[in-house]
Amino acid sequence: MRMRRWGHRLKRSLGTRLVLLFLLLALATTATFLAGMQRALSGGWSGVVRPLVVDYVDRLAAEMGSPPDVARAQALVQRLPLSVRIEGPAVQFDSHPQRRAWHRAPDRDGDDDGRWLLQRQTVDGHRITFGLGDRGWASQPRTIGWFTLAMLLLLTAAAYGYVRHLFRPLDDIRSGAQRFGQGQFDTPIPVRRRDELGDLAEQVNTMARDIRGMLDAKRGLLLAVSHELRSPLTRARLNAELVAPGESRDALLRDLGTMRDLITDLLESERLAAGHAALQRERCDPNALVRELVAEQFASAALRLELAPQLPTADLDPVRLRLALRNLIDNALRHGATAAGTPPCVRSALAGGRLELSVRDFGRGVDDAQLAHLSEAFYRADAARQRSTGGVGLGLYLCRLVAQAHGGTLRLRNAQPGLEATLSVPV
């Protein structure tokens, strides 16, 4: 799972891929350079340096004589950075006895894989092994290797930091796009640099301003039309009241009532689009608000109340909260009919510092795939929400706007049976 998560992050992170490309390029360049230098130096060693070293070692062995003279060997060690070991029937000598572990058996060419250990055999049966006396050089390649690796890692970290700096505007653009998608146009994307990404951020800001202007124009037109429709709708309703009683009159009044509710919901949704600025908050008792709403508008309906005792008062907008609860209860009564006749349930609770008001019906519910769309404007679930049942598809949308204006959420879930809607707001 962790490897899959890292693989997904690698696929999505352009900066990480650029750093890895830089690291691979650095490693490939280093490997190519070292291979070329090793090939060049190995050719020079075999063709030029090795014959000179072999001839020099022959001269040193001849200078010590046969059998080898220990005094001459000591003089060579003091004069030259060499180590000498003599093994034979008459002479046993080692200039560096503490370093015996260094002297391994040389290869057939007498070179010990390039470790500068050469041997010579005298005519009297003595074997002389020559090596470098000061072995401090042996640790230098390792030190240089670790230093090179540290520098490579440092350069990689610097490259990663620079790449992150280059692509930082992309993080700002992503955050800004998310804000704009949620309708939050007040905070533009910061323009940090004057380059291609800075130009892109400025263009996205311009696009957001244009979108906000179009939305404001649409909202203004909708509000103007809704206000203008109220007056002729009121006159039409008054004229309908004068019609002789009958089915036609009742149908006309129902249609006019639907149009009135639609206009009211549209106006309220546009007001709530401004968020918490549209609220008129005051301290109120949530349980008392629920009881008053049920007594005034649902007195004849079969409802079961399960209200948590001793709920604290909260700073809420009672008018908008009543509107949301009315829509939830009306939705539960309209779509929650069952053969057993189980009435919808209204609950209140306090959980984690948040007030939760839930309305559950015991009807057919909806498909799980449709839950995320139920609170969208004018959305209807075909399986359970038919136009014949009434409503225009704005009830749950308004409930979500009311919850968001209070800084809360609207949760919908299939309660099996039925649908449960929970309005959760901080208190």
In a shared domain, residues 257 and 339: no
Beta bridge partners of 346: 305, 359
- Alpha-carbon distances of 48 from 53, 54, 157, rounded to whole Å: 9, 11, 42
Reading the block at residue 192, the tokens are 């940090």
Residue 149 is predicted with a pLDDT of 73
Secondary structure (3-state) at 347:
strand
Least confident of 68-72, 95-99, 403-407: 95-99
Give residue 353's pLDDT band: very low, low, confident or very high (50, 70, 90). Answer: confident
- 331 close to 366: Cβ distance less than 8 angstroms: no
In a shared domain, residues 287 and 266: no
Residues 6 or more apart in contact with residue 90 via CB below 8 angstroms: 67, 124, 126
CATH number at 245 reads: 1.10.287
Amino acid at 60: L
Degrees to nearest 5, angle at CA 25 with 23 and 27: 70
Backbone angles phi, psi at 100, to 5 degrees: -60, -30
Q: Does 322 map to a domain?
A: yes
In a shared domain, residues 230 and 361: no
Beta bridge partners of 75: none
Give residue 410's pLDDT band: very low, low, confident or very high (50, 70, 90). Answer: very high
Residue 386 is predicted with a pLDDT of 46
- 300 close to 336: Cβ distance less than 8 angstroms: no
- Domain boundary, last residue among 244, 272, 300: 272
Q: Does 262 map to a domain?
A: yes
- How many CB atoms within 10 Å of residue 23? 16
Secondary structure (3-state) at 361:
coil
Q: Taking Cα atoms as reference points, which of 211, 219, 234, 215 lies closest to residue 270?
A: 219
The yes-or-no verdict on residue 364 having pLDDT over 60 is yes
- 93 close to 85: Cβ distance less than 8 angstroms: yes
Residue 5 is predicted with a pLDDT of 67
Measured between alpha carbons, how far is 225 from 229 in angstroms, rounded to an integer? Answer: 6
Q: In what order do the strands lie in the sheet with 345-351?
A: 304-307, 345-351, 354-360, 419-426, 409-414
- Domain boundary, last residue among 137, 155, 182: 137
Return the higher-pLDDT residue of 197 and 314. Answer: 314
The yes-or-no verdict on residue 103 having pLDDT over 50 is no
β-strand pairing of 314-316 with 354-360 = unpaired
Provide the domain limits for residue 229: 196-272
Quick one: DSSP state of residue 321? Answer: H
Q: Does 167 map to a domain?
A: no
Reading the block at residue 322, the tokens are 């009543």
Q: Does 184 map to a domain?
A: no
CA 201 to chain centre: 20
- 318 close to 284: Cβ distance less than 8 angstroms: yes
In a shared domain, residues 104 and 121: yes
Beta bridge partners of 335: none
Return the higher-pLDDT residue of 295 and 270. Answer: 295
In a shared domain, residues 41 and 104: yes
Rg for the chain (alpha carbons), in Å? 44
- 67 close to 122: Cβ distance less than 8 angstroms: yes
In a shared domain, residues 119 and 202: no
Quick one: DSSP state of residue 198? Answer: H
Measured between alpha carbons, how far is 266 from 258 in angstroms, rounded to an integer? Answer: 12
pLDDT tens digits, one per residue of 54-83: 888 888 888 888 888 888 888 888 888 888
Reading the block at residue 269, the tokens are 């949704």
Query: What domain count does the chain have?
Result: 3
